[in-house]
Amino acid sequence: MNLGINLLCLTDFVEDRHLASIGRLRDLGYDGVEVPVLKGAVSHYERLGKELDTLGIGRSTTSIVPTPDANPVSCDADVRARGLAHLDWALDCAIALGAESMGGPFHAPIGFFTGAGASEDELKYGADAHRALAERAAANGMHLSLEPLNRFETYYLNTMEQARSYVDRVGHPAFKIMYDTFHANVEERRPEAAIRLIGSDIGVFHVSENDRGIPGRGHIDFAAMFKILKEIGYDGWLTLEAFGAGLPAIATATRVWRPLFPDFETLFSESATFIRKTWAQA
């Protein structure tokens, strides 16, 4: 198991001023960081990757589809072309960073709805885009970890049953799914069974409490989930995802309006201890 942390708890754009905090994460036993790739030049991520190499810490990325005007699953060919260009940019940044995985909900814009579930055409356009992206990721020693979200954030992929069907539709070994315990807590009737269903196609496992605060302080049964992960042979990233109210742009996107942890040191250290202890005991 590798212990990771999504850096959106700190910032939506990682810069040199965040390197001291990343060094502290390494000292606390984190093996890697999940870097948000939401803006910036490819050259920025290349420089950042070198700094992370110096720190001796691994990395993956998380990306989104930022607007309905650049939607890779749109039925409008021009909009879809802009969406495909955005996905290529995000993968270029991940490659430059030296990431193991490009993750996140890079399927449809967050908070954008059509009034129905994903259509057959939208699923086809998405699968075609993700298959091509997976091929390029594989050529660079990476994989994709696409993230289903709860129904209040997207209409495209919500459950592991849908994700299982989508993995089969894409049909590429470098295309995997990010299992997020916060979203599963909303959508899955039996989260442990959902883990078994997606099984070996989990690319990254997001450890996120029901309120998106410090894991172990809420009601999600991480011990049961980790037990299932061990039974199916998962030995990849367990990545903490927590959010606070201190960063307005992120708070608006995640709908976090109150502090969910007293300070970063408590979040970092308590979460690392909880995840490693719970995994060891599972």
- What are the catalytic residues? 147, 241
- Residue 180 CA, chain-centre distance (Å), reads 8
* 8 A C-beta contact, residue 171 and residue 208: no
* 8 A C-beta contact, residue 68 and residue 112: yes
CA distance 216 to 111: 28
* 8 A C-beta contact, residue 140 and residue 95: yes
CA distance 277 to 77: 49
Amino acid identity, position 89: W
Query: Per the structure block, which two tokens stand in for 11?
Result: 């910032």
Query: Per the structure block, which two tokens stand in for 233?
Result: 């042979």
Amino acid identity, position 150: N
